[in-house]
Structure 1
Amino acid sequence: MFGQKEDPGQAQQPFLGPSMTPTRGPVRRTVVTRVYEAVRAIALCHNVTPVFEDDEDVNFDDTEADRQSRQTVVYQAASPDEVALVKWTESVDLTLVKRDLNSMQLRTPSGSIVKFQILQVFPFTSETKRMGIIVKEEDTGEITFLMKGADVVMTTIVQYNDWLEEECGNLAREGLRTLVVAKKVLTEEQYQEFEIRYHQAKMSTQDRNAKVQAVIESLERDMELLCLTGVEDKLQEGVRPTLELLRNAGIKVWMLTGDKLETAICIAKSSKLVSRLQDIHTFGTVIGRTDAHLELNALRRKQDAALVITGNSLQVCLKYYEHEFVELACQCPSVVVCRCSPTQKADIVKLLRNHTGKRTCAIGDGGNDVSMIQAANAGIGIVGKEGKQASLAADFSITQFSYIGRLLLVHGRNSYKRSAALSQFVIHRGLIISTMQAVFCAVFYFASVALFPGFLMVGFSTVYTMYPVFSLVLDKDVKAEIAMTYPELYKELTKGRSLSFKTFFMWVLISVYQGK
């Protein structure tokens, strides 16, 4: 089952006929019923809320039925992946029509409305990497615990199977973000027992979070595997040339993602962060000092190879060989860190700042990138389908990833050169007057006599030298088109030639000479 953020597409629907509506009696488990259970689980296990919007043309003479027929539905959720999956279930005629805090309604292919009561919701967190919901169908009274999450955690929760790991790898190699969906049918007695223990855990005054999680995990056992979903994370326009532009400008690019290893490699290749002909060194799974030492030696023998490493292996390497790993990783043309939690993203940014002393810029478009953006020297938030959390927490907010090239190579370069020239000119302007006053006092036996009247001193600092200040603020050494065509010009900024001890003392000598 596949979804897509931009367009869920029109999936084939021969298997969703009216005969697939659930019956009250026992049903023989066939392929049709299994598919229906999987699709229904996708349509129920989420935090999506449908919002109906009226069209602009409003006629007050229309009936209520006419107004409802003109309404368009908009799905709202914290993650665009969930919206993509719900849109896919709509394309196969299982539509979410209503959602509130306590209930949910689905419209089946036959047009009937199936009502569900929401008993419990366990939201997704970066620690658990899964979400769950307990619903009760009002017609049959059946209580079902539905769960979806990353394959890493769901593999140990679902029943034994021989296809989950293989299919996850196949979808990941195609660049899709995978989620495993499972279910568990509960009796009324089982749910009442769970609710009592869950309520007691929430009322606990000590170790409340641990006790609540333990109660939930007692329910997450021996679940029935329903399906595996894959959502395509489409790249925006201009991502590939922008990354190539940044590499030519001498900027090292690291990709920090929470996706699987195969998905991260596929996205790195599709975005041209790693070229097709470039070698990729996949850092092996390490669990101790010896493994980390062997893998670091293998990485040291690689020449001009992109590094791909998981978050857990990175954490082990930083524990034992922090300095050596950072030194080797910075020599790689590009680095991809997959299975990375939001906290690990921020830690990696802080690590690069402390060890290299370089300026770091974090770019993100989702709420899980906020901590990374705030940890960097400069944060850039992209407003997109992930929401506005990243853009609100960032120093700069843009709507397209391709704008980063112009932001850095044109505006960033001009800002640096103008600030360097302006700061040194202000020193030059003040030092001239100070030198003249010092020489005048020395000639007249250090008498405390002003060389110029007060209004001339104030005028020199403001009005008389105002035009050079404005010329420096608006100065451009090259046009924007040239700066974008030749990104190598940006490399000059990394050498610090515009503002250094050498240029500072040159301005001081010029000021002293002109003052005399």
Structure 2
Amino acid sequence: MKVWVLTGDKMETAAATCYASKLFRRSTQILELTKKRTEEQSLHDVLFDLSRTVLRQRSLSGLSVDCQDYGLIIDGATLSAVLKPSPESSGSGNYREIFLEICRNCSAVLCCRMAPLQKAQIVKLIKVSKEHPITLAIGDGANDVSMILEAHVGIGIMGKEGRQAARNSDYAIPKFKHLKKMLLVHGHIYYIRIAELVQYFFYKNVCFIFPQFLYQFFCGFSQQPLYDTAYLTLYNISFTSLPILLYSLIEKHVSIETLKRDPTLYRDIAKNSLLRWPVFLYWTCLGLFDACIFFFGAYFLFDNTTFTSNGQVSPGYCLHGQLSRTS
């Protein structure tokens, strides 16, 4: 997770805030991409100097245990020049890819003297990059609305600057300190709950429908239902929906304190790992297997007396259906 600070404050104030919040540490080497530096050198030279610096350190980091952390500071004027097409660079991307490559190798990025539209441009630039990362924007004022709307997830803080940001966001929180619990606790737990809810609904419907499909081979394809009509109605409404809904609301596979203390647990569910095709196929195959156990278990338990020799269904089919569905 990379943290970017997009602010309209001047560089000195914004940098002091980053140091106070431990976003920049004393050991962090600050790389400046500002108007003052581009006046001394061309933008082309500054970008390539910074790129060589971070790439050289990345190549050396594999040989050394201690690697240097970098922090990038860029102002609004230089950002406009980076995003503007330049004749010195070929291709439609121009300096954008070089700028993004520098940012990827920095532990944190500070963008100061930003206009509201520039904040949205930064978010969009990250969204359309080749990694296609999930972006989250958080702000508390009207200047942050465009950035919040551009990000995949927008969070507004209800503060002294009004509620414009909160009204245009996906989620609203009263204070910034609640962001940690929202991301590391609620985000983790509710993803697990929703994933298990979806997996269970696929599983229980396969278990319910597949015995009905198998039953047609034993009743001469007469369209005789295996289950009673009342059970068909109540199966999805109450018998199977209410328990899993209750489970999905109260399930906590890991305690809140553990999630706060060890954020690396989020890697286990990163990139939608619980709702991918292998997991879906596993639950589908498990449903098919269990459905066969339910049906043939009931079939052999009754010693095949449910069906007559000429293919007609005896009165005991109701017992067979009840045993299959209650399994």
The TM-score, its normalising length taken from structure 2, stands at 0.75
1:398-427 Cα deviation digits (max 9, x unpaired):
222111001111111111111111011111
**Deviation (angstroms), 1:446:** 4.0
Q: Tell me if structure 1 keeps the 8 A contact 2:34–2:73.
A: no
Q: Find the partner of 2:267 among 491, 494, 497.
A: 491
Please report how far the alpha carbon of residue 462 of structure 1 lies from its aligned counterpart in structure 2 after TM superposition.
Answer: 2.1
Pick closer, same or farther for the CA change 1:443–1:489 going to 2, 3 Å: same
Q: Are 2:2 and 1:252 equivalent residues in the alignment? A: yes
Q: What amino acid sits opposite 1:515 in the alignment?
A: A
- Does residue 296 (structure 1) correspond to residue 47 (structure 2)? The answer is yes
SS at match of 1:274: coil
Higher-Rg member (1/2): 1
RMSD: 2.1
**In 2, Cα distance between the equivalents of 1:358 and 1:453?**
50
1:307 to 55, 72, 92: 72
Note if 1:513 corresponds to 2:263. Answer: no
Helix, strand or coil at the partner of 1:429 = helix
Q: Is the 8 A contact 1:422 1:473 kept in 2?
A: no
2:95 maps to amino acid: Y
1:381 equivalent in alignment to 2:131: no
Distance in 2 between residues matched to 1:353 and 1:475, nearest whole Å: 33
Equivalent pair of 2:38/2:46 in contact (CA under 8 Å): no
Counterparts of 1:308 and 1:479 in 2: how far apart (Å)? 38
For residue 30 of structure 2, what is the amino acid of its counterpart? I
Per-residue deviation, 1:454: 2.2
Asked whether the 8 Å contact 1:429–1:461 carries over to 2, the reply is no
Change (3 A) 1:452 1:266: same
Q: What corresponds to 1:367 in structure 2?
A: 142
**SS of structure 1 residue aligned to 2:128:** helix
Alignment of 1:94-493 (within 5 A): 251-285=1-35, 291-300=42-51, 301-302=53-54, 303=57, 304-319=69-84, 320-355=94-129, 356-465=131-240, 466-493=242-269
CA distance in 2 between counterparts of 1:451 and 1:287 reads 78
**Contact persistence 1:367–1:390 (CA under 8 A):** yes
How far, CA to CA, are the matches of 2:163 and 2:279 in structure 1?
42
The one-letter amino acid paired with 1:311 is G
Task: Flag the structure with higher strand content.
Answer: 1
Decide whether the 8 Å contact of 1:318 with 1:325 is kept in 2: no
Q: Distance in 2 between matches of 1:460 and 1:306?
A: 57
User: Distance in 1 between the 2:229 and 2:137 partners?
Assistant: 49
Gaps of 5+ in 2: 58-68, 85-93, 293-327
Contact preservation (8 Å) 1:369, 1:390: yes
457 and 293 in structure 1: CA distance in 2 versus 1, 3 angstrom threshold:
farther
- Name the CA shift for 1:511/1:327 in 2 (closer, same or farther; >3 Å): farther
Identity %: 35
SS in 1 for 2:120: helix
Instruction: Determine helix, strand or coil for the equivalent of 1:307.
Output: strand
Return the offset for 1:480: 1.1
Gaps of 5+ in 1: 1-250
Q: Is the 8 A contact 1:287 1:316 kept in 2?
A: no
Conserved in 1, the CA contact under 8 Å of 2:70 and 2:105?
Answer: no
Deviations 1:91-121 (A, max 9, x none): xxxxxxxxxxxxxxxxxxxxxxxxxxxxxxx
Q: Which amino acid aligns with 1:463?
A: S
Q: Is the counterpart of residue 504 in structure 1 residue 280 in structure 2?
A: yes
What amino acid does structure 2 have at the position aligned with 1:271? S
Higher mean C-alpha displacement, 334-343 vs 263-272: 263-272
Paired residue type of 1:331: N
- Secondary structure (helix, strand or coil) at the match of 2:5 reads strand
CA distance in 2, matches of 1:282, 1:369: 24
Structure 1 SS opposite 2:243: helix
What residue identity is the alignment partner of 1:347? Q
The one-letter amino acid of 1:341's match is A
> What is the identity, as a one-letter code, of the residue corresponding to 1:312?
A
**Bigger relative CO (Cα 8 Å, ≥ 6 apart):** 2
Q: Deviations over 1:422-451 (max 9, x none)?
A: 011111111222222222224445443322
Give 3-state SS (helix, strand or coil) of 1:381's partner: strand
- Partners of 1:427 and 1:327 lie apart in 2 by 42
Structure 2 vs 1, CA of residues 274 and 453 (structure 1 numbering), >3 Å: closer, same or farther? same
1:16-56 per-residue CA deviation (whole Å, 9 max, x = no partner) reads xxxxxxxxxxxxxxxxxxxxxxxxxxxxxxxxxxxxxxxxx
Please say if residues 156 and 165 of structure 2, whose CA atoms lie closer than 8 Å, have aligned partners that are also in contact.
yes
CA distance in 2, matches of 1:502, 1:378: 27
SS at match of 1:497: helix
Output the CA distance in 2 between the equivalents of 1:505 and 1:447. Answer: 31
Structure 1 runs of 4+ off > 6 angstroms? none
Aligned length: 265
How many Å separate the matches in 2 of 1:295 and 1:442?
A: 75
